[in-house]
Amino acid sequence: MANPLSTLGIIHTAVSLAPVVAGLYGFARYGAIAPATRSGKIYLATLVLAVLTSAGLSSTGGFNEGHALGIVTLLVIAGSLAATRLNVFGRLKPYLTTLGFSFTYFLLMVPGINETLSRLPVSQPLASGPESPIVQTTLLVWLVIFLSGVSVQTYLIHKRAAARARAPLPR
């Protein structure tokens, strides 16, 4: 039987579902997580809240890989938001921001995959932890999906930039 969730664990799980949905909506609607949109703002706010609530959770009794992943996620968010405001990156700016926010979605799902497979179904979870073959295989599939998605995003950003470059200048 799976370990029961603490009150903080239940809150964290509920909060963590919001960026999953907001991110999916952003990808479906805009092809990316766009921080200027309502879904992008919801995504970022709830992702930060999910990382903060995860700080109080630990199956090992201290700092663990999940906490490190949360710190990396916060750093990527900060870097991606900075890239949206800085002009020093030139033509790389749309790539850096789009791929950065997509990477945060990838990071969001890594512990989600492990926790879901290690806790469901409640009567007999599919996995016993991160080293379980089903978790490892699912994470590999998730990595392939992520890399495919960022490849498509990169192509679309390039295609839009090329179309803008070919467009006649307004008179």
pLDDT tens profile 21-36? 999 999 999 999 999 9
Residue 106 lies in a domain: yes
Q: Note whether residue 143 is domain-resident.
A: yes
Q: Which is higher by pLDDT, 170 or 136?
A: 136
Which range marks the domain in which residue 36 is found? Answer: 7-166
**Average pLDDT in the chain:** 92
Q: How confident is the model at residue 46 (pLDDT cuts 50, 70, 90)?
A: very high
| The total number of structural domains that make up the chain | 1
Residue 146 lies in a domain: yes
**What does the block give as tokens for 119?**
């806790």
Res 56: pLDDT: 84
Please report whether residue 76 resides in a domain. Answer: yes
Mean pLDDT of 90-101: 94
pLDDT tier at 1 (50, 70, 90 boundaries)?
very low
User: What does the angle CA 57 – CA 112 – CA 4 come to, to the nearest 5 degrees?
Assistant: 50
* Cα distance between residue 26 and residue 169, in whole Å: 31
Within-domain flag for 171: no
In a domain, 110, yes or no: yes
What pLDDT is stored for residue 3 in this prediction? 60
- Would 2 be classed as within a structural domain? no
What are the CB-based long-range contacts (under 8 Å, 24+) for 73-76?
73/47, 73/104, 73/107, 73/108, 74/48, 76/100, 76/103, 76/104, 76/107
